[in-house]
Structure formats: structure tokens, C-alpha cells
Amino acid sequence: MRNLLWFLLGVIGGFVAAHLMNKDPRGHEVLADVDARITEFTDRIGDAYREQEARFSGIVDGVKDAANDAYGAAKSTAADVTDTSKSTVTEIADTAHSTAPDTVDAAKSAVTEAVQAVKSAADDAFNAAQPTADGAVNAERSSGSAAGNRSTDAGADATDFAGPAEKKLTD
């Protein structure tokens, strides 16, 4: 607080001294000379500031132009890449679309041929096993009642054995 008081007293004292000096003709000349020097100094600082601002303005304009050029080149390149990508994707889609029916037809015919081959193999296996199965049935019929009883007992044993096993599985 004390420093603020001294500062204010110094400023007020300076104004009083300047007012008294301005009343005297010699003091008036001294103050006019100080005022002229201050005006000259501020003019020089202002000129230097405007000159420096003009230099920076030129540099900034150059950077803006370079940035705009780079942006234009990047935009053009991006558009070219997009167009190329579109045309490539379209070509791939067209190729896939045109070859898909042929591929589907080829797959259908391959599946049909495979089904026919499996059916033919199953028929051949059945036909080959048929005479053997017929012979086994005839042999069993001719073997008599003892063989029939044995097969019935074996069937009962198998049923008895399967019953508890099935029960264990369901529990």
C-alpha cells in the first residue's frame, strides 16, 4: 500500500512539474522537443510494425496458396482413386454375375451325377447281397426246429440283455 502511495505521488508530482515547465518559454521548448522525439519514435515503431506485417502477410499468403494447391491435388487424387475403385468393383461384380449361372449349372450337374453314382452303387450292393440273404433264410428254414429254438432262445437272451442296458441308459 505504501508503494502505491509513493507511485501516485510521483505521477501527480510529474504532472505538476510539467505544467509549471510549460508556463516558462524555455520549459515550453524543452517539452516540445521531448514531444517531437516521442512522436518520431512512435512513427518509426509504427512504420517498422507495418513493414513486418507486410512481410508476414506475404509469407502467409504463400503458405495459403501452397496449402490450397496441396488440397486440390489431394482432392483430385482421391477422386481418381474413388473412380478407379468404383469401376474395378463394377467389373468384378459384372464378371461374377455373368459366371454365376454357369457355375451353378455345373454344380447342379455334378451333384446329380454324384447322386446317380451313389444310387447305382447302392443298387449293386443290394443286388449282390440279395442271393446270400435268400440262401441264409432258406438254410434256416431247412435246419429244423432245434435250430429255430436256438435262435428263439438267442433272441430272448438278446432281448433280456438289451432290456437292462436300455434301462441303464434311460436312468
* Contact between 18 and 34 (Cβ < 8 Å): no
| Reported pTM | 0.36
* Contact between 10 and 2 (Cβ < 8 Å): no
Q: What is the pLDDT of residue 147?
A: 47
Render each residue's pLDDT in the chain as its tens digit; 171 residues.
Answer: 889 999 999 999 988 888 888 888 888 888 889 889 999 999 999 999 999 999 888 888 888 888 888 888 888 888 888 878 777 777 777 776 777 677 777 777 888 888 888 888 887 777 777 666 566 556 556 655 444 455 454 444 444 444 554 444 554
Q: What is the pLDDT of residue 130?
A: 67
Considering only CA atoms, give the Rg of the chain. 57
Grid cell locating 161: 440283455
- Rounded CA separation 11/18 (Å): 11
Q: What is the pLDDT of residue 146?
A: 47
Q: Write the pLDDT tens digit of every residue in 48-98.
A: 999 999 988 888 888 888 888 888 888 888 888 887 877 777 777 777 677
Q: What is the pLDDT of residue 142?
A: 61
Q: What is the pLDDT of residue 79?
A: 80
Domain borders along the chain are 2-170
- Rounded CA separation 131/124 (Å): 12
Q: What is the pLDDT of residue 87?
A: 78
